[in-house]
């Protein structure tokens, strides 16, 4: 889960940044906003964001001084500065504070989006490194992983007929999606998407054996986007069409 803090005292600028950032966030992510340096420090202490986008000229405490304070308790937070000042001293100070990017206003939306995506990727990679380090230091991490996997499998089996994504399942067990994907494949030997497809095909086979439902109904029953996609996936997994599988299953039952 990403926790993002936007620090901007100009309301129109703040709304502009929010609209761009929200397009890249998942429903489980948190977006915070404030208008001053003092408020930013308070929110950073309370919510511990992993990404901050901040103007330099903000009330109460300027952006660079605010970053200095935040770095004392959040040394690894990713911070991008947006500034109308091209003065080299500002940029030099920002570099010493290890900012992610220093963007000069006005900034085009696509540039902000590109930078923010890079920040999200870097934050995710950082979480994976921290999780790996935690695994090595914590002898109980293996048990924790098994608990999270068991909980996620339970959720998948209850909701696999619906539109289900890796991000949704990862959020139910409070894990970073990339880390969850890696642990899931390590523990089960298959990727998340492969596991869900296998589960859907397994239940589709059961309906093909026990009902007269047509393929389009079975595909909708088990979360496939359309019958043609269901047929392609079924053929790839079972090496035959749903109709051929039903015929083969009925013949096997008659032989028994």
Does the N-terminal peptide bond of residue 106 adopt cis geometry, omega within 30 degrees of 0?
A: yes
DSSP secondary structure code for residue 239 in this structure:
S
In percent, how much of the chain has pLDDT > 70? 88
Per-chain mean pLDDT for the chain = 84
Residue, of 27 and 61, whose pLDDT is higher: 61
Q: What pLDDT does 120 receive?
A: 87
Q: What pLDDT does 135 receive?
A: 56
134 falls in which pLDDT band (50, 70, 90)? Answer: low
pLDDT in tens, 49-95: 999 999 988 888 888 899 999 999 998 899 998 888 766 666 677 77
Coil, helix or strand at residue 63: helix
pLDDT, mean of residues 171-180: 80
Crossing angle between the packed helical segments 192-210 and 141-159, to the nearest 10 degrees? 40
Lowest mean pLDDT among 43-52, 58-67, 222-231: 222-231
Contacts of 77 (CB under 8 A, 6+ apart): 44, 49, 50, 51, 52, 70, 71
- Which architecture characterizes domain 193-255 according to CATH? Orthogonal Bundle (1.10)
Residue 227 in contact with residue 215, Cβ under 8 Å?
A: yes
DSSP secondary structure code for residue 76 in this structure:
T
As a CATH number, domain 3-133 is 3.40.50.2300
Residue, of 9 and 27, whose pLDDT is higher: 9
8 falls in which pLDDT band (50, 70, 90)? Answer: very high
pLDDT in tens, 188-206: 899 999 999 898 888 888 8
* Total-model pTM: 0.54
* Distance from C-alpha of 66 to C-alpha of 50, rounded to nearest angstrom: 15
Q: What pLDDT does 215 receive?
A: 81
């Amino acid at each position: 889960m990403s926790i993002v803090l936007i620090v901007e005292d100009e309301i129109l600028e703040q709304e502009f940044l929010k609209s761009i950032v929200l397009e890249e966030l998942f429903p489980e992510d948190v977006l915070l906003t404030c208008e001053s340096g003092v408020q930013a420090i308070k929110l950073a202490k309370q919510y511990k964001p992993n990404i901050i986008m901040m103007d330099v000229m903000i009330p109460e405490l300027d952006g660079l001084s605010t970053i200095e304070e935040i770095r004392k308790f959040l040394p690894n937070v990713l911070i991008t500065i947006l500034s109308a000042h091209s003065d080299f001293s500002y940029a030099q100070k920002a570099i010493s504070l290890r900012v992610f990017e220093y963007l000069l206003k006005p900034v085009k939306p696509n540039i902000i989006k590109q930078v923010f995506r890079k920040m999200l990727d870097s934050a995710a990679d950082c979480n994976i490194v921290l999780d790996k380090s935690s695994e090595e230091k914590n002898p109980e991490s293996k048990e924790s992983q098994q608990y999270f996997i068991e909980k996620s499998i339970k959720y998948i089996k209850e909701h696999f007929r619906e539109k289900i994504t890796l991000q949704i399942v990862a959020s139910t067990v409070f894990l970073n999606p990339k880390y969850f994907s890696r642990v899931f494949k390590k523990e089960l030997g298959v990727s998340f998407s492969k596991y869900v497809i296998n589960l859907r095909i397994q239940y589709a086979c059961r309906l093909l054996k026990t009902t007269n439902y047509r393929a389009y109904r079975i595909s909708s029953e088990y979360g496939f986007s359309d019958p043609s996609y269901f047929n392609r996936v079924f053929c790839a997994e079972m090496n035959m069409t749903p109709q051929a599988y039903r015929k083969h299953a009925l013949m096997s039952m008659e032989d028994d």
